[in-house]
């Protein structure tokens, strides 16, 4: 058991280092992509403001630049307070007696549909679609933050405590209740170790009474190859 425990520590240390590095690198690349999208959003806001308000307030570049910068935090707030599901739910009003949307070819015009573009529902859907597109940048930046946080959590893992639990579960080969694990691992701090085990793929949290932990078959096979 002692030898298995030491080998499990080495295995988990390697996995934590690799996963942490992957998440930090992924977070950096995602953040760069998000910054590019936010820059594009600012540019679009500048152009819209320049042409929509320029005739009223003049073509003052500083004003349109600042207005574009104000839009960015507003989009972050809107993205945080609005669900993606809501923005992706579309409804339109047709201009015919039938509620079914029909697309057809009109000679001299091209493809048209029976959707009424001025109906409130249709206008609302258009606003949601535009908002959904504008929120892509904030979503990507938020995803980058999540990756960074995951990487930091992995770095903070109590490798020895988590490895001890994994080694016990591997040796027993079955589900163990949380109390059984605490009794089996001397000096274990369950308030710290059990939440950290959520970060390790293959450690299964089973809610059926008595609630406890088990290892996936994939993780068991990996441990056999590595330990």
pTM here is 0.74
**Residues 132-151 as b or e (16 or more Cβ within 10 Å = b):** bebbbbbbbbbbbeebbebb
The predicted-structure confidence for 51-84, as pLDDT tens digits, reads as follows: 877 667 766 777 778 888 888 999 899 888 887 7
pLDDT of residue 198: 94
* Helix residue spans in 103-177 (DSSP H): 120-134, 136-155, 159-172
Class of domain 157-226 (CATH, top level):
mainly alpha
The answer to whether residues 223 and 8 touch, using CB atoms and an 8 Å cutoff, is: yes
Q: Where in the chain is the domain with CATH 1.10.10?
A: 157-226
The three-class DSSP label of residue 106 is: strand
Pairing verdict, β 212-215 and 203-206: antiparallel
């Amino acid at each position: 058991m002692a030898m298995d425990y030491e080998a499990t520590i080495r295995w988990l240390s390697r996995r934590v280092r690799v996963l942490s590095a992957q998440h930090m690198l992924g977070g950096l690349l995602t953040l760069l992509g998000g910054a590019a999208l936010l820059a594009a959003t600012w540019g679009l806001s500048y152009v819209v403001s320049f042409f929509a308000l320029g005739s009223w307030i003049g073509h003052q570049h500083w004003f349109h630049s600042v207005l574009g910068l104000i839009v960015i935090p507003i989009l972050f707030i809107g993205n945080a307070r609005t669900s993606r599901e809501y923005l992706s739910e579309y409804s339109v009003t047709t201009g015919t007696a039938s509620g079914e949307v029909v697309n057809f070819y009109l000679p001299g015009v091209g493809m048209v549909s029976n959707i009424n573009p001025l109906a409130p529902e249709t206008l609302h859907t258009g606003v949601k679609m535009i908002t959904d597109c504008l929120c892509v940048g904030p979503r990507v930046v938020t995803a980058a933050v999540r990756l960074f946080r995951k990487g930091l959590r992995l770095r903070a893992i109590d490798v020895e405590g988590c490895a001890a639990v994994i080694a016990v579960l591997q040796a027993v080969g079955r589900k163990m209740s949380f109390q059984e694990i605490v009794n089996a691992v001397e000096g274990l701090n369950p308030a710290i170790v059990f939440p950290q085990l959520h970060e390790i793929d293959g450690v299964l949290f089973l809610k059926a009474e008595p609630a406890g932990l088990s290892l996936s078959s994939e993780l068991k096979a990996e441990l056999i190859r590595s330990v």
